[in-house]
Amino acid sequence: MSEKKESILVPVDGSETAERAFDKAVKIAMTDNAHIDVLNVIDTRQFLGEMQDTLISGDTIYQMTQDSEKYLQSLKKWAHDNFKFDDLNYHIRYGSPKRIISYDFIKDHKDSLIVMGATGLNAVERMLMGSVTEYVNQHALADVLIIRTDIDNNPIKPN
């Protein structure tokens, strides 16, 4: 009987902590012979004006999608160039990052582990919007590994 190959979801938002999580996920995937799904969720709700029925233009959505695509391609290239790791697909979704990461994407792709940075927001944004990482950690349909440090550059000193 063959075992199902494990799959890791890595949500990224361009922040340093997300990229640190991506780095660690690649190392985990190489060790465990796992597949990686890299996900960028474009939260279109943040662009609504004071009038909640105001829509952002198609040009804006197109540009955001193009920027996301370039960013995700650069991560894929980085994994290949630095680790010769190619078992990676990238995805772009639109909507609520909390919901998409915790439920929708996991249901669609059956990832067994989510590796994500501690936070990509500043303190004020976390207070107003709530931390996506906190929400995912509490509600996800998969195990969650939260990356806070870059162990490779900041080794933990033994007691």
Domain that holds residue 130: 9-147
- Residues contacting residue 140 through CB under 8 Å, at least 6 positions apart: 101, 102, 103, 106, 114
Does 66 reside within a domain?
Answer: yes
Number of domains, the chain = 1
pLDDT in tens, 96-131: 899 999 999 999 999 999 999 886 555 555 454 458
pLDDT in tens, 42-65: 987 666 554 455 566 778 888 889
Does 72 reside within a domain?
Answer: yes
The whole-model pTM stands at: 0.82
Specify the CATH number for the domain of residue 61.
3.40.50.620
Tokens 């067994």 correspond to what residue? Answer: 112
